[in-house]
Amino acid sequence: MSYNFNNAIIRKTNKNIQNGLSSQNLHPQYEMVLNEHNNYVKAIKEAGLKIHILEPLEKYPDSIFVEDPALTYKSNLIILNPFDRSRNGEKDIIKEEIKHLFDNILLVENGFVEGGDILNINNHFIVGLSNRTNKLGAENLSNILKKLGATVDICKTPEDILHFKSECSVIDDDVILVSYKMAKLDYLKSNYNLIELPIGEEGASNSLRINDKLLLPDGFVKAEEILSKKYNIIKLKVDEISKVDAGLSCMSLRW
């Protein structure tokens, strides 16, 4: 199942996170990010995962978002190609740091694609085209995944959303939690059961289902009301990391 995991890779917070890419030009404070990140690590442990910790990379302000330069599928590690110049070098570093954990290493060599644009549901992947993932990158990744036995569809991320997964997450078999903007995508509407969150609760659509736990951003009353009926929720503050457009899914790489 798409939410059953045993392992997670997490990178320690770097002090330079204050200079991370931010669509609103905000600068999170290191100590506050550290606090949110520590609670995140605790929650991942509580969900039963073995954590592989990577050292901080001061040269790369956004490097705690380990989901973007790499993708795991079965025992394969696929090194992606982040679009932004300030992030692109993360891919070579993470490859060397984690390759020993996988049987097979593959590379996206043409075009750009970031992990935040890749939604995995069982054997299927949805790759969202965005300002960070282009057609060439999506097709290159799609060819790699298909050779590994997966199925892939390429879909368009709504214009003002950073990554496809910024506003949606798989929370159950064939159930995707979505913001109202993502709920409008015909592709999602016709293929999945969607739980749509109301306007104002977009932040909660970047949740993270891990085994029997659902990690949910704190402060979203409606989302909590809807989801607590069925899911075992761990609420986590993401106020500080959201200043650099980040959420729960991007701070770990899971398999």
Q: Which residues contribute to the site for ligand CIR (CB under 6 A)?
A: 20-21, 62, 65, 67-68, 87, 115-116, 163, 166, 244-247, 250
Q: In angstroms, what is the minimal distance from the CB of 232 to ligand CIR?
A: 24
Q: In angstroms, what is the minimal distance from the CB of 176 to ligand CIR?
A: 16
Q: Which of residues 163 and 181 has its CB atom nearest to ligand CIR in the complex?
A: 163
The enclosing H or E element of 141 equals helix 135-147
Q: Which of residues 81 and 166 has its CB atom nearest to ligand CIR in the complex?
A: 166
The pair of structure tokens assigned to 94 is 């993470």
Q: In angstroms, what is the minimal distance from the CB of 23 to ligand CIR?
A: 8
Contact between 182 and 156 under an 8 Å Cβ cutoff? The reply is no
Q: Name the DSSP class of 206.
A: S
- Strand ranges for the chain from DSSP E: 7-11, 50-54, 70-73, 76-79, 104-107, 118-121, 124-129, 151-156, 168-172, 175-178, 193-196, 208-210, 213-217, 232-236, 253-254
Q: Give me the amino acid identity at 10.
A: I
Q: Which of residues 33 and 223 has its CB atom nearest to ligand CIR in the complex?
A: 33
Q: CA neighbours within 13 Å on the CB side: how many for 189? A: 8
Q: Which of residues 3 and 228 has its CB atom nearest to ligand CIR in the complex?
A: 3
Q: Which residue number is nearest to ligand CIR in terms of Cβ? A: 116
Q: Which of residues 59 and 230 has its CB atom nearest to ligand CIR in the complex?
A: 59
Q: In angstroms, what is the minimal distance from the CB of 229 to ligand CIR?
A: 27
Q: Which of residues 65 and 231 has its CB atom nearest to ligand CIR in the complex?
A: 65
Taking the C-alpha atoms of residue 65 and residue 11, their distance in angstroms, rounded to an integer, is 8
Furthest C-alpha separation in the chain: 44
Q: In angstroms, what is the minimal distance from the CB of 80 to ligand CIR?
A: 11
Q: Which of residues 68 and 201 has its CB atom nearest to ligand CIR in the complex?
A: 68
Q: In angstroms, what is the minimal distance from the CB of 241 to ligand CIR?
A: 8
Three-state SS for 104?
strand
Q: In angstroms, what is the minimal distance from the CB of 226 to ligand CIR?
A: 22
Question: How far out from the chain centre does Cα 122 lie?
Answer: 16
The pair of structure tokens assigned to 230 is 């069925």
